[in-house]
Amino acid sequence: MKIGVLALQGAFIEHEKKLIECGADIFEIRQRRDIEHSFDGMILPGGESTVMGKLLLELDLMQPIRERILNGMPVMGTCAGLILLAERIAEDNTVHLGTMGMTVRRNAYGRQLGSFHTAAQFEGIGRIPMTFIRAPYIESVTSAEALAEIDGRIVAARDRNQLALAFHPELDESAAVHEYFLNMQ
Ligand code: GLN
């Protein structure tokens, strides 16, 4: 199985390590020609969604990635990657890929509580560790289905071939979320 990892900015190396640990082949997506061959899925890592969105447009990657997602390519977005996928960002007119039926709120835990570590139930996996870094949360879902919640706030959701997480599964010991994603193929 061959997974492309968006490697423009942010925490992509940790995702690569997890995927390799799970037995997948990986390659980095840095420019348009990197996506012009066949592969089985894609990761949109954490980082800064504004910067990543701008680079996706500048590099002419936004439209081809959106098309692949709409054609059913499995995609996993973590943190900033979740923001890229959302069809709506609360109190913000920006839409990046906009393929996933949910509204997200950026930097939703405030500056002081911006980063924390906890554990919670993840539908289909069980209880797993979750690390949040200046995280967004999912305020509401339309076509997406919630998979995990913390204090009544959705932190993971799935919309058919799309998986979005407010936390960073690549930073914890468990590889369960990456395995879940690889099984979405
Ligand atoms: N706060 C970042 C954003 O809005 C996301 C943080 C992260 O990816 N760790 O893009």
pLDDT along the chain (185 residues), means of 10: 97 97 98 95 97 98 98 98 98 97 90 82 97 94 98 96 98 96 93
- Distance from the alpha carbon of residue 155 to the mean position of ligand 1, in angstroms: 13
For residue 113, the model assigns a pLDDT of 62
158: which 2 tokens? 């799935």
**C-alpha dist (Å) from residue 24 to 27, 78, 109:** 10, 18, 33
> How far is CA 112 from its chain centroid?
23
- CB 74, CB 184: distance < 8 Å: yes
For residue 140, the model assigns a pLDDT of 98
For residue 109, the model assigns a pLDDT of 79
Q: What is the DSSP string of 85-141?
A: HEEEETTB---SS--EEEEEETTTTTTTTSEEEEEEEETTTEEEEEEEES--EEEEE
Does the pTM surpass 0.85? The reply is yes
For residue 112, the model assigns a pLDDT of 60
For residue 114, the model assigns a pLDDT of 74
For residue 111, the model assigns a pLDDT of 63
Pocket test for ligand 1, best of 56, 130, 134 (most atoms within 8 A of CB): 134
> Measuring from each residue's beta carbon to the nearest atom of ligand 1, which residues come in under 6 Å?
46-49, 79-80, 83, 106-107, 133-134
Second-level CATH architecture of 2-182? 3-Layer(aba) Sandwich (3.40)
Query: Hey, where are the domains in the chain?
Result: 2-182
CA 48 to ligand 1: nearest atom: 10
- Distance from the alpha carbon of residue 68 to the mean position of ligand 1, in angstroms: 23
Residue among 60, 61, 58 at smallest CA distance from 44 = 61
